[in-house]
Structure 1
């Protein structure tokens, strides 16, 4: 998981590829009428290596098309692509250093979970402060919940560049054997537990896999605690405070107690170094009934041809359902169903020499034509509803996520302290799985949270 990036003055701006120099930010109209421009896009992608498909798309399709469009307007545009193939932490540190020293690309791709941290550090600014008017017909195609990926503190900083969604996957064959409907949609946590109790009667089957413990890492938080907290009615971070040993945290830990203390989940699996991978394999072997995961599970894990845990009968054997709130209306904002998502964001460097043209480039990168081209014929969720409607029409599961999940989803708080909070949440679930009471685990969680972020930051 990410750590706080060191932001010392360790880089010499003139040596950085795509460096902008120490320009004066704040002038949204500077060079607006320039007839010759140079823009740089920075991404953690490299030809023949990390995110190679994205690198090829930028180099071979985006840049030629955009320069052609600019030429038709009488503008000679040079667009440079600064490739990176580093680990996420190294990439994050480099981008932060570049932005701090007035360098970096004009358009920069970052993980959405870094957005708040970068904003608080003053490395990025609200989009309208950088480029002026952000009127764009593309916003209408990005669901409000997905737009939240590029927002912080009620302000828009960038444009999401893709996302995902979490659901409950279930094995239809096992549900049928247990006498449950194969078109299953639970409407409360109790419905899930009741289904697990029926599945418990099947020999060799683990009824419910709800990621828990520290060995699962961030998967515990994103595929377990955070969706459950949203279903309990309160996000992990709100009004400048991290949620401590609240009633909602205790409700979530009680849910874990019922799953693992009630014999509905496998506590040993949660402690294995590769427990998540093992859970994938067990599901594909018809030995796990219900599993909370992202759409990645459908398109990359149990995918019949190339999945890491292939299921030849995936299309008929695997079902999916919305994650229910604790009970109807108990979710965040009064929602009946909840989800969590991740994804990246493209931002405009506040020090760009060409704010107007950088915004044009950002719009082009997120146009329907460009987004569809970036998929290279694959079926995958995008930030745009119009593209999803077109490219996902043959995939009922991904269509379900696009139409039903994305409008209600939420995102992790993009703050520097989040990894420490996540680790504390993971330990709390590990404590419950090991037999501690939810109250004890919540108390220990609060103590760890206070130590990590300070008493004044815990609500």
Structure 2
């Protein structure tokens, strides 16, 4: 068998030429990237192809990608596409269609969760990406404190409600206040937030918006709807959580910064991407092993996912497809999930081995079922810049939340008119 596998590897490698090959991929510094890195030796063994990963902070990715996508031949063979870049990248014609490759290799695209496939997979009936990982946001919280009888009694005495996993937004806000002011834990905060602009604050604040019953726009007309009582309440609550109940500096925290505070046991809660849930149980990264849990955000948290794509400027699209086909094969997708990856394929959430290992998988299924989408259109990145700017001004510079959101609505409408979605 070993000789057969070696011979197969040599045959595959020979299909790409005698010289050693290397493909280049730009990726974000998140846990799922580490899980991909762990699969690379197996890919090299099977194909003879080396993979060079350039791993950067999220804020750098778009700036690095666009010049490469515009060029006749870029540096990256494979790219990963955030869901709100989809409109921009597809309208510009930067991505190669994958349908013929999928058909030729009988790749099982039906394995993907339909909502995620629509978000970072098919666009207007053409498959331009294969979903990589999901990052629907959830509420991570200290379950040991929630189950502590002393805190349960004190919380009920003050707020007149049970201290439990919150299913309504006001419950959660009361818990944040209690663990900041009344829990008697020195140096402890009720919440840590990722207030860095433009992306981290925009993504996190979306949860506050949805939890208050607000929406970004009217689904029938695309008319912006942020400067509403729901939106204003959401921004006021977010500002209060950062200024009154969070650690110093949270207004400038990236998601890494905020996670580190929670993982060091210095905050009761953090609304974050579900991919961080398994990292809480990694002793190398966390001091709260076995103490953190995840739940759906009341009202439905933010949905999100990334997709693998082959740019039209790819120097080696055939080798790029070999990599995508390998990394998204059911076998490798399961291996990544066992390491803690945020899966996009539905069979993984039904796998007994994974459910046994990760008791919170049912909660993750709920996150994906009820998560709500951020606006996706050609100018979504520009909209994120606008939104992040105004949210940050309200949080750090004292701008009135209503005025901030009115400005967002105004510039959002201009971008939508430019895109043709709003008349």
- Structure 2: where are the runs of 5+ without partners? 1-13
Q: Which of 353, 359, 372 is 1:396 aligned to?
A: 359
Aligned residue pairs total 381
The DSSP-based 3-state class of the residue aligned with 1:116 is helix
**1:137: Cα distance to partner?**
6.8
Residue 383 (structure 2) pairs with residue 421 (structure 1): yes
Distance in 1 between residues matched to 2:339 and 2:258, nearest whole Å = 26
Residue 316 (structure 2) pairs with residue 322 (structure 1): no
Contact 1:149–1:411 under 8 Å retained in 2: no
Partner residue of 1:441? 404
**1:371: Cα distance to partner?**
2.2
**1:92: Cα distance to partner?**
1.3
Partner residue of 1:43? 25
Q: Which of 111, 116, 120 is 1:146 aligned to?
A: 116
**1:111: Cα distance to partner?**
4.3
Partner residue of 1:184? 165
- Structure number with the higher helix fraction is 2
Alignment RMSD: 4.5
Distance in 1 between residues matched to 2:334 and 2:346, nearest whole Å = 11
Partner residue of 1:288? 267
Residue 146 (structure 2) pairs with residue 167 (structure 1): no
CA separation of 1:114/1:430 partners in 2, compared to 1, >3 Å: closer, same or farther? closer
Equivalent runs, 1:194-273 vs 2, <5 Å: 194-196=174-176, 198-199=178-179, 200-203=181-184, 206-212=189-195, 215=196, 217-225=198-206, 228-229=209-210, 232=213, 234-235=215-216, 243=224, 245-247=226-228, 250-258=229-237, 260-261=239-240, 265-266=244-245, 269=248, 272-273=251-252
Partner residue of 1:339? 302
Partner residue of 2:3? none
Partner residue of 2:42? 61
Normalising by structure 1, we get a TM-score of 0.65
Deviations 1:218-276 (A, max 9, x none): 221112225634863535696895836453xx513312314545999437736654486
Residue 330 (structure 2) pairs with residue 368 (structure 1): yes
Distance in 2 between residues matched to 1:108 and 1:297, nearest whole Å = 22
CA separation of 1:370/1:227 partners in 2, compared to 1, >3 Å: closer, same or farther? farther
Distance in 2 between residues matched to 1:157 and 1:446, nearest whole Å = 31
Distance in 2 between residues matched to 1:193 and 1:281, nearest whole Å = 22
Partner residue of 1:306? 284
The DSSP-based 3-state class of the residue aligned with 1:339 is coil
Residue 164 (structure 2) pairs with residue 193 (structure 1): no
Distance in 2 between residues matched to 1:255 and 1:112, nearest whole Å = 23
**1:323: Cα distance to partner?**
0.8
Distance in 2 between residues matched to 1:262 and 1:42, nearest whole Å = 41
CA separation of 1:410/1:244 partners in 2, compared to 1, >3 Å: closer, same or farther? closer
**1:368: Cα distance to partner?**
1.3
CA separation of 1:94/1:414 partners in 2, compared to 1, >3 Å: closer, same or farther? farther
The DSSP-based 3-state class of the residue aligned with 2:133 is coil
CA separation of 1:362/1:415 partners in 2, compared to 1, >3 Å: closer, same or farther? same
